[in-house]
Amino acid sequence: MKFYGYNKCGTCRKAQKYLVDKNIAFEDIDITLNPPPKMVLKRAMQAVGMKKLFNTSGVQYKELQIKDQIKTMTEATALNLLASNGRLIKRPIAVASDRVTVGFNEDEYKKVWPAKR
C-alpha cells in the first residue's frame, strides 16, 4: 500500500496509527513533496468525487480561490492542479491494487483495510 500523507497532519497520524495497529504494511509518502500521480488521483476522484478530493480547509485552496472555480472546473484541470500541488489534496490517500481511500474514517478503514493476521 502507498500512503500519501503529511507528518504534521493529525488525521494522517490517526490513519497511520490504525494501519500500524492492524499490522498493515505501507509505504509512507509525503504528499506535499510527492503528490500522487494522476492515475491515483483519478481513481480517488472516482471514489469520492472531484470536490471531496480537494483539501477545502487548506490555505492554498483558499488563496487560489478554488471554491469559486470548482463548479466549472474540468476533471482534467482538477487532476493537473492536484498532481502539481500536494497541499491542495485531501489527505491521507491510501491506495493498493483495486482499493483507495481519501481522508480517514475508521469505519471505512475497517471495511477497506481489514487487519492483517
Residue with cell 471554491: 67
Distance, CA of 110 to chain centre: 17
Asked if 3 and 26 touch (Cβ cutoff 8 Å), the reply is yes
Q: Distance between CA atoms of 60 and 44, rounded to whole angstroms?
A: 20
9 counts as catalytic: yes
Choice among 1, 9, 47, 112 that is catalytic:
9
The CA-based angle 60-107-23, given to 5 degrees, is: 90
DSSP 54: B
> Hey, which residues are catalytic here?
9
